[in-house]
Amino acid sequence: STTEKPILLNNIADAEAFISSAEVAVIGFFQDPQSPEAEQFRLAAGQIPEVPFGLSSSAAVLSHYGASANTVALFRRVDNDRRDMDMNNRDVDAKKLTRFVRMNELRLVTEYDPVTAIGVMQSSLEFNLLLITDKMSPKHPERMRKFRAAAELYKGKILFILLDSNLKSNERVLSYFQLKKSQLPALAIFHTPDDEHDVLTPDEISIERVQDLCNRFLQ
Residue 4's pLDDT is 65
Residue 85's pLDDT is 95
Q: Rounded mean pLDDT of the chain?
A: 93
96-143 pLDDT, tens digit per residue, is: 999 999 999 999 999 998 888 888 888 889 999 999 999 999 999 999
Residue 148 backbone phi and psi in degrees, to 5:
-65, -40
Q: Which residues of the chain have pLDDT under 70?
A: 1-4
At the fourth CATH level, the homologous superfamily of domain 7-104 is Glutaredoxin (3.40.30.10)
Residue 3's pLDDT is 53
Residue 84 near residue 73 (C-beta atoms within 8 A): yes
Please state which CATH number belongs to domain 109-218: 3.40.30.10
First to last CA, the chain: 48
Residue ranges, CATH 3.40.30.10, the chain: 7-104, 109-218
Query: Which ranges of the chain would DSSP assign to H, the alpha helix?
Result: 12-20, 36-47, 59-64, 94-104, 116-122, 140-153, 171-176, 207-218
Residue 2's pLDDT is 44
**Which helix (H) or strand (E) element contains residue 200?**
strand 196-200
Question: Residues with Cβ < 8 Å from 104, sequence gap 6 or more?
Answer: 74, 76, 83, 118, 119, 122
Residue 90's pLDDT is 77
